[in-house]
Amino acid sequence: MSFLCRASLAGIAVGWGLASMAFAQRGPAVVEILPIAQRHVATTQATLGTIMPTRRAVIGSAVDGRVVEFLVREGDRVETDQPLARLLTATIALELEAAEAEWKLRQQELVELKNGSQELEIEQARARLEASRVLAEYLEKDTRRLSQLGANSAISASEVEDSHSRWLAAQQRYIEAQAAYQLAVDGPRPERIAQAEFRVAMQAAVAEKLKDQIGKHTLYSRFAGYVTVEHTEVGQWLPRGEPVAEIIALDEVDVLARVIEAHIPFIHVGDKATVEVPALGGRKLEGTVAAIIPEADERSRTFPVKVRVANEFNAAGEPLLKAGMLARADLATGNQQTVLMVPKDALVLGGKSTLIWTIDSASIEPAVVSSQAASASDMLEANAQAIPVQTGVEQDDWIEVRGDIAAGTAVVVRGNERIPPARPGAPPSRVTWRGN
């Protein structure tokens, strides 16, 4: 039978006195019942811990420089890659401008080589080749003529030699013009193009190096967090490696608890853990065991355990969980065991012992009701019996109970405050509920 129902309650214990009469005069009362559940739970213990940021970084300068802008203050929130401070970069900016201009020059030289010789350059080389050929042929004929005259002693030997040397020189210029024409036709050699490509790459590297230096003159936060310490100010000379600001990440926090070695075997990464923060009025948050540090403190024999908890923020965007706050983490202290559990609302407190009201299944029978919303066919009536119990492990809104009870027994979870107090020798209370 499923017992998640609404029920109407009537106390009928006649002779209990005025208190019992008052309960009876109230008429039907709406209640709810649920079955006692059997669950697998582990015993836990609240362990003191400290809220820690998941990440912490001291941002330092990678270069020497003077601070010209300091863009954050202590307590400010910063996002990933948000600038924190800037150093003076005027001189490096001029060097970068010159390097980029030189880079563009090298690129155009490479383009020129790859395009090869223009048609006009080839025509120019052809014209020079033709002129040198004509001159060489002329000087050859002139040298032969003068050689005949010299043989007849018509001219001096020096004139013949001078003509011969001019002819030889013209022949060499003709050979040179042939080579120049062929080079113009063939275009640049692959080796010259490769050399030009390397010069472009070298100049690009110089420009990138200067850009990197300028980038290092702006200091960034590498993760989202909050500024906790300022180490510099505008106008200060900042040596390389000098700290600028400290950043902590609080979007998630770690509760660092120190657990005795006897409990460590029962805690595992990924286990769920409830965290209570006294500064938030004892508010409880759900967390997960993120790390178990496998090295104990030699003096206390305790192991650091980190419970990761998602932070929450108020209307102003400020984190509720702050680094250094005290917290208590419920961590396992034993193996899982099977127990009987009821909703915490089922407990009746304030007497000599803790009670729960259970339904006697043998006494269940159709109820007679007068209501437009219900009929005798869907309402059931039975005896409600008070059972003393002892409580144990808690799990969310459920709690372990031990006593004369069994799994599946229906227990009243709403309206139990209207049931007349249990007295020795008193008849059982009759209750009605909507059946399924």
DSSP 279-320: GGTSEEEEEEEEEE-S---TTT-EEEEEEEEE--B-TTS-BS
The better pLDDT of the pair 334, 347 is held by 347
Mean pLDDT, the chain, rounded, equals: 86
Return the higher-pLDDT residue of 31 and 220: 220
* pLDDT at position 80: 96
User: For residue 395, which phi and psi values (nearest 5 degrees)?
Assistant: -145, 105
Residue range 235-258: mean pLDDT, rounded: 96
> What pLDDT shows up at residue 242?
94
Residues 39, 43, 46, 52: is their CA dihedral positive or negative? negative
Q: Given 3.30.1360.120, 2.40.50.100, 1.10.10.10, 3.30.300.30, which CATH number is that of 58-94+212-245? A: 2.40.50.100
pLDDT confidence tier of residue 430, bands split at 50, 70 and 90: confident
Question: Is 50 exceeded by the pLDDT of residue 193?
Answer: yes
Among 5, 34, 18, smallest CA distance to 421 is for: 18
* Terminal Cα distance for the chain, rounded: 8
Closest CA to 259 of 291, 321, 214, 304: 304
Determine the pLDDT at residue 172. Answer: 93
Count of alpha carbons within 13 angstroms of residue 255, beta-carbon side? 31
Three-state SS at 221: coil
pTM of the model: 0.60
- The Cα–Cα gap between 248 and 78 comes to 10
pLDDT class of 337 with cuts at 50, 70, 90: confident
379-395 vs 302-310, strand pairing mode: unpaired
Alpha carbon dihedral 287, 291, 296, 301, in 10-degree steps, equals 20
Q: How confident is the model at residue 344 (pLDDT cuts 50, 70, 90)?
A: very high
CA-to-CA dists, residue 201 to 94, 126, 191, 330, 359, angstroms = 20, 35, 15, 61, 87
* Amino acid code (one letter) for 356: I
What distance lies between CA 426 and its chain's CA centroid?
63
Lowest-confidence segment of 62-76, 158-172, 296-310 by average pLDDT: 158-172
Give exposure, 237-254, as e/b (b: 16+ Cβ within 10 Å).
ebeeeeebbbbbbbbebb
- Minimum mean pLDDT range among 20-34, 195-209, 236-250: 20-34
**More confidently predicted of 425 and 174:** 174
Q: What are the sequence ranges of the domains in the chain?
A: 5-42+339-434, 45-56+248-335, 58-94+212-245, 95-200
Give CA 58 to chain center in angstroms. Answer: 19
Please tell me the predicted confidence (pLDDT) of residue 4.
43
Q: How far is CA 275 from the centre of its chain?
A: 22
Residue type, 199: R
The string of pLDDT tens digits covering residues 217-230 is 999 999 999 999 99
With 0-12 CB in 10 A as exposed, 13-18 as middle and 19+ as buried, what is 213?
A: middle
Dihedrals phi, psi of 359, to nearest 5 degrees: -100, 130
Contact 177, 126 (CB under 8 A): no
Which band of pLDDT confidence, cut at 50, 70 and 90, is reported for residue 416?
confident
pLDDT score for 159: 87
Answer for the pair 246, 229: CB distance below 8 angstroms, yes or no: yes
pLDDT of residue 279: 93
Burial per residue of 54-88, b for 16 or more beta-carbon CB atoms within 10 angstroms, e otherwise: bbeeebebebebebeebebeeebbbeeebebbbbe
Per-residue pLDDT for 76 more than 60? yes
List of residues 6+ apart from 419 with CB closer than 8 A: 9, 11, 23, 357, 384, 386, 412, 429, 431
Q: Sheet harboring 237-238: ordered strands across? A: 218-220, 83-87, 65-70, 237-238
Q: Over 90: is that where the pLDDT of 433 sits?
A: no
Q: Output the six-digit token pair for 185.
A: 């036709």
Range among 1-15, 261-275, 364-378 rated most confident: 261-275
Q: Where are the alpha helices (DSSP H) in 187-279?
A: 190-216
Domain 5-42+339-434 has CATH 1.20.1050.10: no
Buried b (16+ CB within 10 A) or exposed e, 391-419: bebebeebbbbeeebeeebbbbbbbbebb
Instruction: Write down the pLDDT at residue 368.
Output: 67
Rounded CA separation 353/388 (Å): 6
Q: Determine the pLDDT at residue 347.
A: 92
What share of the chain has pLDDT > 70, as a percent? 89
pLDDT in tens, 150-167: 888 778 888 888 988 999
> Considering only 12-26, 33-47, 130-144, which range has the smallest mean pLDDT?
12-26
Q: Top-level CATH class of 45-56+248-335?
A: mainly beta
Q: Tell me: pLDDT of 367 over 80.
A: no
